[in-house]
Chain A
C-alpha cells in the first residue's frame, strides 16, 4: 500500500482497540445512500518506476525552444545551492510556523527575507510574501483603499502599461468592493505614462499604480508620477521587477516622499519558469500603514530567558482571528518560494545581483540592435528601457512567431491581443542566460522568417 505502513497485525490490533470488526464499521455515521461507488474513472495505481517513465515522456513532449520571452516571467540562472537547500525536508515538509519554538528556522529565514525585500525596494517593511505578482497587486489595491482614509472615492488609477494579466486579476479580485479601476492610456511615442497627461484639477483619487519597468520594458518617470499622486492626495503603489531594483531607482526613493506600497513578482529571484508557478508575490510598505498590510508578517521578540527569537506577528489582522473583518482571506504565504529567493539573494549579494541586471540589460540592447538592422524591424518606443523592448515587425506577429518556433526560437510575446492598436508588434527579452551565439541564432532565424 503506497505510503501506508500498517501490517495486517497492526490493523487487527487497532480495530480491536477501537471496538470494531472492520475499517468499514468506522464509516457507519455516513448515510448509506451517500456512499460512493468505486472510483472507476481513476487509473489503477502504479509504482514509482512506471510513473517516472510516464513523467519523463511527458516532460519530453514540452518543446524547449531558446527563450526570448519575458512579459512577467524571466529565465535566469539559478545557483545549484538554491534548490539543494530549499528542498531539505526540514523546509519542504514543515507547515506554517504556528508553533514558533519548533519553527525558528523558517521564521528567522522569513525575517531575513523581509529585510532583503525591504532593502531591494528601499521600503521600510515587507511581509512574508503573497501568492504571485498579480495577486500582490490586487491586495495592494485593497490595502490602499484601507490605508488612504482621506479618500472616499475608492478610485484607483491603473495605467495600461501595467501587465495585462495583472489588470485582469486585480479586476477579478476587487470586483465586489465598490472600487473603480480607471485605466490610464500611455504615450504613443514613449510607451510610458506621460506625467503631463494626468489631470491637473483636484480630484479624489485613492491611489496611482506605477509599474517599473512597465510591461513594455519602458521606464516610467517615477519621480514626477509619485509627486503628482501625493499632491493629489493619492497613495502610490509601485509594481517593480526585483532584478531591475539592482540598478534602477527603488520605489522608496521615488519623488519627494517615496512610494507608499510596493509589490511585484518574485520569480526572477531564483524561481524556475515552470509553466507559470509556483512563484511568489512580494509586498512592502511604509511602517505607518503596516497594520493594513495583508499576509503573514514575521517579527523578532525574546523568549522567557531574554534570548532572541522570531514569531508570526500582527496576527490580529488575519482571518483566523478577525474572521469576516480580516484584511484578507489569505492564510498562507508562498513559503518554499521565499526560502529559495532568500538563498538566491544571499548567494548573489549586492554585487552579483547588479551584474545579472547589467548583463540582462546589455543582452537585450544587443539583441534589439541586431534585430532592428533587419529590413522592416523597428524599435517602437523611444523611452529608456530595462531588459525588455517592443519591436515592430513587417508581418503579422503570430506568423513570425510560428516561423521562429519551427527554427527552435521562442521569439517573444505577441502584444496584439491585449493592445489591439499594437498589431505586428513583439515584446522581446534576453536575460543573462543568453550568449552571443544565442543572439545570433535569433537574428539569423528572424532574417530567414522575414526573408
Chain B
C-alpha cells in the first residue's frame, strides 16, 4: 500500500473549503487587541475532496471488525450492528442539548430508564448508574463507593484493596486513585484465586477485593462463594470487574455471586463500537448498601410516570459527578438498541455461542498441537494459548506469531496478558464469528507453526503485507516525535 502523506503535507496556502463557511464571519467588536489571537493556527488548508480522500485512504490502513476477524482477548470484538448507529443518530437524539429541561427530554430519558432496568436484571444488582464513561471510570466509581461506604461508617482502618495477580492493570491503578494501597493475591495452578493466600491477608484493614469472573485467565472462578464469604466476614466489600460478562450473560448474575458493586463494559458485552479506542461506557450496578453512594446523575421516574434526572438532592451521599453531563449518552443509546434486538433469549444465546466458539477454537488448536495454559479447564468466552515451548525451540515468540497472523488477514489476539502466563495469546472469538472463520484461523496458526519450524527468520520479519513492517517502539519513546512541525 502506498504511503499516505500527512494532511499537512496536502495543505496549500490559501486553499479554502468554501462549502462550509463562505457566508459566515463578523467583527470581533468588544474584544480588545490584547486578548486576540495574533497568528492563525496552522490547520490544514485543503479542499473537501482532499479531506475525504485522505481520511478514506487512512481508514483503509486499519484492521477492524468490519474487515477482519479480531480475536482480541478480553476486548470482546463482536459485530457492531449498524442499526445501533443509525437509530442512535436520529436527529431527535443528536440535536438534544444536555441541559434541556426534563420535560423536553422524555424520549431519551425513557430509553436510559429502560436500559437501567435491563442492566439491573442481567446483573442482579439493586440499582444502576449509567454515567461512567469507560470501564476504568466505572472501576473508579465502584472503588470510590466502597470507600464512601467505609467512611460513612467511620471505619477508617480499611486502607487496602486486594487484587489477583492476573488482574487487568486498571484494577490496581484505580485502587491507587481512590487512595488505597494494593495487595496482590496469587493464582493457583488451576487458574483460581489462591484461597489460602487470601485468608492469610484479609482482615480489618481490607476495604475490598476486585475480581473478574470469569477471570482474566479465561476460566470461571469456582470458589467465588467461598471468597465472597471470606471477604464479607472480614468486613470488606466485593468489586466485580465486568470485562468478561459476555461469557455468563443470563447464566450467572454477579449479584448472586455476592458482589456489592460491578461495572459493565457496554463496548464489550453490549456491542457498542470500540471506535479505535473509545468512547466506551462503564455503567455501575450496586447492592442495597452502596445505593446511597451512586454517582449522579441517575434517571428517576415520578409517580405520574414522568422521567427526570436524580442529582445530589436525591442522593446526598453520592460520590459525585464523573462527567459534565450524563456520560457517553449516545453509547448508552446504542447498547439499549442492541439489548432490545437481542431480548432475553438473545442475551442467553450470547453466552452460549461465545462459549461454544471459544471451546471449539481451543479444541481445534489443541488438536493441532498447540499448548493451552490451563489444559484441564473449560474455556469460558476466551482461553490462553502459551508459546513457551516454541519460544525455546525454534525460538519464536508470541509477538512473532501475532505479527505473522496480520499477514494472513487476522488481527492478533491479546499478547503478553495476563502477565503471569509466559508467551501467551489470549484468544476471544466472540459469538458473532462463524465456524468457517474459526477454522481459517486454526489453519493460519498451523501454517505459522510450520513456517517457524522451517525458518525462524520469516516470522521475525513479519508482517510483510501491511502498510508498514514491524515498527520501532524504542525509537518512538526515546526520540519523541508527537506532532508535525511546519518547516521554519
Are A362 and B360 within 8 A (Cβ)? no
Q: Which residues of B contact A84 (CB under 8 A)?
A: 52
Q: Which residues of A contact B343 (CB under 8 A)?
A: 42-46
Q: Which residues of B contact A30 (CB under 8 A)?
A: 220, 222, 248, 251-252
Asked if B433 is at the interface of the complex by the 8 Å CB criterion, the answer is yes
Asked if A52 is at the interface of the complex by the 8 Å CB criterion, the answer is yes
Nearest-neighbor residue (CB-CB) of B79 within chain A? A3
Are A336 and B279 within 8 A (Cβ)? yes
Asked if B189 is at the interface of the complex by the 8 Å CB criterion, the answer is no
1/0 contact trace for A71-87 toward B, CB 8 Å? 11101010101011101
In the complex, what's the smallest C-beta–C-beta distance from A136 to chain B, in angstroms?
10
Q: Which residues of B contact A365 (CB under 8 A)?
A: 29-30
A220 to B277 alpha-carbon distance, docked (Å)? 35
Asked if B154 is at the interface of the complex by the 8 Å CB criterion, the answer is no
Chain A interfacial residues counted at CB < 8 A: 204
Stretch at the interface among B4-12, B197-205, B284-292, B449-457: B4-12
Asked if B156 is at the interface of the complex by the 8 Å CB criterion, the answer is no
Asked if B472 is at the interface of the complex by the 8 Å CB criterion, the answer is yes
1/0 contact trace for A149-183 toward B, CB 8 Å? 00000000000000101101101110111000000
A64 to B94 alpha-carbon distance, docked (Å)? 10
Stretch at the interface among B134-142, B229-237, B385-393: B134-142
Query: Which listed residue (B48, B169, B403) contacts A323, Cβ 8 A?
Result: B169
Asked if A67 is at the interface of the complex by the 8 Å CB criterion, the answer is yes
Q: Which residues of A contact B96 (CB under 8 A)?
A: 62, 64, 273-275
Nearest-neighbor residue (CB-CB) of B121 within chain A? A41
Decide: A105 near B431, CB < 8 A? Known: A30-B251, A134-B324, A277-B325. Answer: no
Residues of chain B from 168 to 183 with CB closer than 8 A to chain A in the complex: 168-170, 172-179, 181-182
Are B275 and A114 within 8 A (Cβ)? no
Asked if B482 is at the interface of the complex by the 8 Å CB criterion, the answer is yes
Are A97 and B277 within 8 A (Cβ)? yes
Q: Which residues of A contact B172 (CB under 8 A)?
A: 319, 323-324
In the complex, what's the smallest C-beta–C-beta distance from A177 to chain B, in angstroms?
7
Q: Which residues of A contact B330 (CB under 8 A)?
A: 272, 274-275, 277-278
Q: Which residues of B contact A302 (CB under 8 A)?
A: 471-472, 475
Q: Which residues of B contact A14 (CB under 8 A)?
A: 356-357, 360, 435
Nearest-neighbor residue (CB-CB) of B412 within chain A? A99
Query: Which listed residue (A56, A177, A277) contacts B331, Cβ 8 A?
Result: A277
Nearest-neighbor residue (CB-CB) of A301 within chain B? B476
Query: Which listed residue (A17, A72, A347) contacts B363, Cβ 8 A?
Result: A17
Q: Which 5 A-B pairs have the closest CB atoms?
A: A45-B343, A276-B325, A362-B26, A89-B66, A59-B92
Are B431 and A95 within 8 A (Cβ)? no
Asked if B35 is at the interface of the complex by the 8 Å CB criterion, the answer is yes
Are B273 and A336 within 8 A (Cβ)? yes
Q: Which residues of B contact A98 (CB under 8 A)?
A: 72, 414
Are A331 and B97 within 8 A (Cβ)? no
Decide: A73 near B98, CB < 8 A? Known: A276-B324, A300-B481, A302-B471. Answer: yes
Query: Which listed residue (A38, A176, A330) contacts B178, Cβ 8 A?
Result: A176
Chain B interfacial residues counted at CB < 8 A: 201
A97 to B322 alpha-carbon distance, docked (Å)? 26
Asked if A396 is at the interface of the complex by the 8 Å CB criterion, the answer is no
In the complex, what's the smallest C-beta–C-beta distance from A125 to chain B, in angstroms?
5
Are A351 and B475 within 8 A (Cβ)? no
Asked if B83 is at the interface of the complex by the 8 Å CB criterion, the answer is yes
Are B61 and A355 within 8 A (Cβ)? no
Nearest-neighbor residue (CB-CB) of A64 within chain B? B95
Decide: A62 near B133, CB < 8 A? Known: A81-B52, A333-B277, A346-B7. Answer: no
Are A43 and B70 within 8 A (Cβ)? no
Are B16 and A352 within 8 A (Cβ)? yes
Are B277 and A95 within 8 A (Cβ)? yes
Residues of chain A from 272 to 327 with CB closer than 8 A to chain B in the complex: 272-280, 287, 290, 296-305, 307-311, 313-316, 318-326
Query: Which listed residue (B122, B224, B363, B461) contacts A19, Cβ 8 A?
Result: B363
Are B63 and A277 within 8 A (Cβ)? no
Stretch at the interface among A20-28, A201-209, A227-235, A438-446: A20-28
A-B contact pairs, 25 of them (CB 8 A): A1-B349, A13-B435, A23-B355, A34-B256, A42-B344, A45-B346, A59-B92, A73-B325, A77-B20, A81-B48, A94-B65, A98-B72, A99-B411, A108-B4, A116-B43, A131-B323, A169-B324, A172-B144, A275-B96, A305-B469, A329-B139, A347-B17, A350-B45, A351-B45, A405-B101
Are A131 and B134 within 8 A (Cβ)? yes
A51 to B83 alpha-carbon distance, docked (Å)? 9
In the complex, what's the smallest C-beta–C-beta distance from B475 to chain A, in angstroms?
5
Are A3 and B435 within 8 A (Cβ)? no
A125 to B480 alpha-carbon distance, docked (Å)? 10
Asked if A335 is at the interface of the complex by the 8 Å CB criterion, the answer is yes
Are A47 and B341 within 8 A (Cβ)? yes
Are B329 and A277 within 8 A (Cβ)? yes
Q: Which residues of A contact B85 (CB under 8 A)?
A: 87, 92
Are B356 and A245 within 8 A (Cβ)? no
Are A337 and B279 within 8 A (Cβ)? yes
Q: Which residues of A contact B482 (CB under 8 A)?
A: 111, 114, 125-126, 290, 297-300, 313
Are B169 and A320 within 8 A (Cβ)? yes
Q: Which residues of A contact B58 (CB under 8 A)?
A: 104-106, 108-109
Residues of chain B from 456 to 488 with CB closer than 8 A to chain A in the complex: 461, 463, 466-473, 475-477, 480-484
Nearest-neighbor residue (CB-CB) of B66 within chain A? A89
Asked if A437 is at the interface of the complex by the 8 Å CB criterion, the answer is no
Are B179 and A177 within 8 A (Cβ)? yes
Query: Which listed residue (A10, A19, A315, A316) contacts B434, Cβ 8 A?
Result: A10
